[in-house]
Amino acid sequence: MRVLPLLALICLMLGCGREPHDAFRTVTARDAIAARIEDLESPEPSARKMAANALGAMGRPAEPAIPRLVEALEDDDAEVREEVAWALTRIGSSHAALVPFLIAKLHDKSEETLGTAIMGLGRIGPDAEPAVPFLIELLHDGDPLTQRLAAESLGSIGPRAALAAPELREALKREPGLRKVAAAALEKIVPETASTSK
């Protein structure tokens, strides 16, 4: 009888015996991002918070979610707003509305959080001017890596970070890695005086 071989062939073609998830197409990153964006509309704050966290964890690939996340900075729930702001920072947004949030994160005990906040302010650029005094403090008192990150962010803020010029000139006398970053920052902040400060 040829029934059994025929059944076996049909089963093979239909995928009999596979795991259930193999019968469906793999969810793409785009689908995952779209699903999380949709979750930002949930009536449950916990679901919105989880959605923002998931988008932040995706990093730069979640850039299509930035416009919706920026809207979510106005969420009624404070914890959701904080998670959304952090997600935007991790994704790489340069939205000026993140500045107050990132300034608050400059006091975080976590080195990873602190570093991410400093770099986030640098990405924002001139609009991060309110953070300049806090970055100066980190440039003066931070560990070597924090000092370099602070100097780099001050340079990204540009002429609006002129208040930091004296501290950056002092940094030119410190360890070589910091000297190089401080000199580059000074060139962006006060180009006419940077060359005489080297």
pLDDT tens for 91-135 read 989 889 999 999 999 998 889 899 999 999 999 999 999 999 999
- Domain assignment of residue 195, yes or no: yes
Q: Are residues 84 and 106 in the same domain?
A: no
pLDDT score for 26: 43
> What is the percentage of the chain residues whose pLDDT exceeds 90?
70
pLDDT score for 30: 84
Q: Are residues 84 and 101 in the same domain?
A: no
pLDDT band at 197 (very low <50, low <70, confident <90, very high): very low
Tokens of 141: 């008192």
Distance CA 179, CA 185 (A): 10
Domain of residue 89: give its range. Answer: 28-93
The tally of domains found in the chain comes to: 2
Label residues 102-128 b or e (16+ Cβ within 10 Å = b).
bbebbeeeeeeebebbbbbbbbbbebb
Tokens of 122: 């640098």
Tokens of 145: 């890596």
pLDDT score for 193: 55
pLDDT band at 27 (very low <50, low <70, confident <90, very high): low
**63: CATH:** 1.25.10.10
pLDDT score for 19: 46
- Domain assignment of residue 122, yes or no: yes
Structure-model confidence comparison of residues 21 and 186, the more confident one = 186
pLDDT score for 55: 95
Ordered DSSP codes for 131-181: GHHHHHHHHHHS-HHHHHHHHHHHHHHGGGGGGGHHHHHHHTTS-HHHHHH
- Domain assignment of residue 3, yes or no: no
Q: Are residues 105 and 150 in the same domain?
A: yes
pTM value? Answer: 0.74
With a CB cutoff of 8 Å and minimum separation 6, the contacts of 99 are 121, 124, 127, 128, 130, 131
Q: Are residues 136 and 182 in the same domain?
A: yes
- Domain assignment of residue 107, yes or no: yes
Q: Are residues 195 and 132 in the same domain?
A: yes
Q: Are residues 68 and 111 in the same domain?
A: no
Q: Are residues 183 and 154 in contact, defined by beta-carbon separation less than 8 angstroms? A: no
Distance CA 125, CA 132 (A): 11
- Domain assignment of residue 44, yes or no: yes
Report the mean per-residue pLDDT for the chain. 86
Q: Are residues 196 and 109 in the same domain?
A: yes
